[in-house]
């Protein structure tokens, strides 16, 4: 099995204090530590995590998503996920994690939700 990679690229959002983190690759047991390290470095008040280039996540990836949510709650930060495909959404819904996290189809929808629009 080839080694999996996950690219994590952060960029400023539309407002001060907002950051968008784009993920590219699977969020799995093989890549979860890089994701966790990147999330620990984020301290902005509003964080959007873009899953549009994540083909799948496994249970370790799901755990990392939940840990990211818990970290944001403890720090009183806004957190949103965007662009989740059918497989990712199915896992999130099947495990009832969708009751915790806010997910939007697009980055623009998440930005609008943060601004109260």
Tens-digit pLDDT profile for residues 54-86: 999 999 999 999 999 999 999 999 999 999 999
| Confidence (pTM) | 0.92
Model confidence band, residue 117 (pLDDT cutoffs 50, 70, 90): low
Which pLDDT belongs to residue 67?
96
Model confidence band, residue 4 (pLDDT cutoffs 50, 70, 90): confident
Which pLDDT belongs to residue 32?
95
Tens-digit pLDDT profile for residues 23-63: 999 999 999 999 999 999 999 999 999 999 999 999 999 99
* CA dihedral of 53, 56, 60, 63, whole degrees rounded to 10: 70
Residue, of 1 and 84, whose pLDDT is higher: 84
Which pLDDT belongs to residue 3?
58
Residue 68: closest CA among 48, 86, 93: 48
The domains found in the chain, sorted by start residue, are: 7-115 (3.30.750.24)
Return the SS3 of 80: strand
pLDDT higher than threshold 60 for residue 1: no
pLDDT higher than threshold 80 for residue 99: yes
């Amino acid at each position: 099995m080839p080694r999996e990679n996950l690219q994590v690229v952060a960029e400023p959002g539309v407002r001060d204090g907002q950051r968008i983190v784009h993920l590219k690759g699977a969020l799995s047991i093989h890549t979860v530590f890089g994701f966790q390290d990147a999330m620990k470095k984020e301290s902005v008040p509003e964080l959007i995590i873009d899953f549009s280039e994540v083909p799948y996540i496994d249970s370790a990836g799901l755990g990392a998503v939940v840990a990211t949510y818990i970290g944001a709650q403890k720090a009183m930060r806004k957190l949103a996920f965007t662009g989740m495909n059918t497989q990712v959404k199915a896992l999130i819904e099947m495990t009832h994690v969708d009751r915790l996290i806010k997910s939007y189809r697009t980055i623009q929808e998440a930005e609008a939700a943060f601004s109260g629009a």
